[in-house]
Amino acid sequence: MKIVTAAEMRQIDRATSERFGVPSTTLMENAGAAVAEFVLAHWAATRKIAVVCGKGNNGGDGLVVARKLSQAGKQVVVLLLAKLTELKGDAAEMLEQCPVEPVVVTTESELHEAVDDRFFDCDLIVDALLGTGFRPPMSPLYAEAIAAMNIAKAPIVAVDIPSGADADSRRPPEESGKPVARADAIVTFTAPRPAHVFGRLTDGPTVVAPIGTPAEVVASESRSELNLITPADFEALLAPRSPDSHKGDYGHVLVIGGSTGKAGAAAMAGMGALRAGAGLVTVATPRSVQRTVAGFAAELMTEPLDETESGGISMKALEHAKKLCEAKSVLAIGPGLGRDAETVEFVRALVKSAKLPVILDADALNAFAGAVGELDGSKRPLVFTPHPGEFARLIGKDTAAVAAGAVALASTFAKERRCVLVLKGHRTVIATPEHGVWVNATGNAGMAKGGSGDVLTGMIAGLSSSSKKCSGETAGAAAYLHGLAGDIAREEIGDRAMLASDILASIGEAFRRAAEQAGDATVTINP
């Protein structure tokens, strides 16, 4: 799903009407209906609902919401922050159709009077004041209305975007220093804008609802390389398996990792690969920790490697490791390796010589800090899975610079190195050399624990092995499913107590839910 700018969204709406003959009033009607349906589904017990409308198209959407909710039997009050004569075009038409006579407010004193009359003494507020087309400056009246909504006790559903927010910003609204309405949920339309994905505009869901815009219009009118990952993008990877298939059909993943005290990381990666669908998984690890890895799960095969005095993998293991790579589908290297100088030498030698697809994580990434020019993904598929600190070391920048320019830096890196870069974070970014940048919006803070990233590395390897392709698609699918598994685990035990092993246990349910969601035209973005 494309992530589009506010200007592109206006052009998309215009092209939908001009090229495909969909009246703009139909788009507005569908938008308002989508918001009303969301309200009725999530706040079914509400009695009194206040709809706050501006004079533009966002206000027109709000008037449709008011009509639909009134028709559904709700007690609806409309606060219109404009003279009736100021509404033009589609908004004016929706005003004529609205059965609820609005309370017209044109001055701050009138607003205060309306608030004093307990206008916001209601069960729910619908914010239809300003949409994604808003550009500063904001009038004092609208700023006062936003302030009033922000202190109201009722939950707020924003139409398109919380009033006052910059749709193209990737920063939280509080950093702007300008008035922005709070939101407990957002319903936007057709495609998300950058703020919906990156801006942390709400602690609740952001729903992207279809309103009748053809997909080809969105594709043709957007110049952005940004996309939001949805199950529809990797539906083929969710297809049922053939009844007569066998383990050999789904490949053999080799995980190289682990060291004294860090055996669990390699084991978690191995189990992630199995849970994601690999037919076989072998974990090659230092000899002294092999038994620990083998004891993690009976399904893992293990292979002992020569080790250093400190318990890392030795250069003496290089030829053995090269032999292990033969006849394997994918190599995942890095989880729990440690930074022993000899282990670093081993990693660099093995990765540069490997001819199969390679996924580099954790200390395998650190091994190439300052030497990333040695890697070229055009020779065989390469996937990097750093967190911001590892990526900063890899490219010679500080973590703050990575946080500020994650999308651009990831995109540049992927194109220069001809690789797939999975930059982990609140919004994991998957950058590809040729197919743009994809953003994952599943997952939660409970996943911020040791082992979670190792599971993701294994899942990328497992999906790549079972699908026989290692690409941005498999990496993006793994990121989505990994985050969804974390969300499922949170449902069961909450985010404080969640462990990486709980993510592993939820992968099967994540596949099931993703398959169900793949055919759903409505997309929900996590907070």
- As annotated, the binding site for K(+) includes 58, 127, 163
Task: Check residue 240 and report its DSSP letter.
Answer: P
Neighbours of 190 (CB within 10 A): 24
CB-based contacts of 425: which residues, under 8 Å, 6+ apart? 387, 388, 406
Tokens of 326: 């033969």
Got the DSSP string for 340-360? -HHHHHHHHHHHHH--S-EEE
Largest CA distance in the chain: 83
Got the DSSP string for 417-437? HTSEEEE-STT-EEE-SSS-E
Cα–Cα distance for residue pair 144/162, rounded to 1 Å: 15
Q: Are strands 429-431 and 420-423 parallel, antiparallel or unpaired?
A: antiparallel
- Which residues sit opposite 77 in a β-bridge? 50
Tokens of 376: 């070229």
Is the distance from CB of 206 to CB of 524 less than 8 angstroms?
yes
CA-to-CA separations, 340 to 49, 115, 259, 290, 314, in angstroms, rounded: 63, 66, 10, 18, 9
Cα–Cα distance for residue pair 300/200, rounded to 1 Å: 40
Residues flagged as binding site for (6S)-NADPHX: 57-61, 131-137, 142, 160, 265, 336, 387, 454
The helix or strand, by DSSP H or E, that contains position 93, with its residue range, turns out to be helix 89-97
- Which residues sit opposite 187 in a β-bridge? 159, 207
The helix or strand, by DSSP H or E, that contains position 366, with its residue range, turns out to be helix 362-366
Residues flagged as binding site: 57-61, 127, 131-137, 142, 160, 163, 265, 336, 387, 424-428, 453-454
Phi/psi at 209 (nearest 5 deg)?
Answer: -100, 140
Residues flagged as binding site for AMP: 424-428, 453
CA contacts within 13 A on the Cβ side of 159: 35
Q: Are strands 75-80 and 48-53 parallel, antiparallel or unpaired?
A: parallel
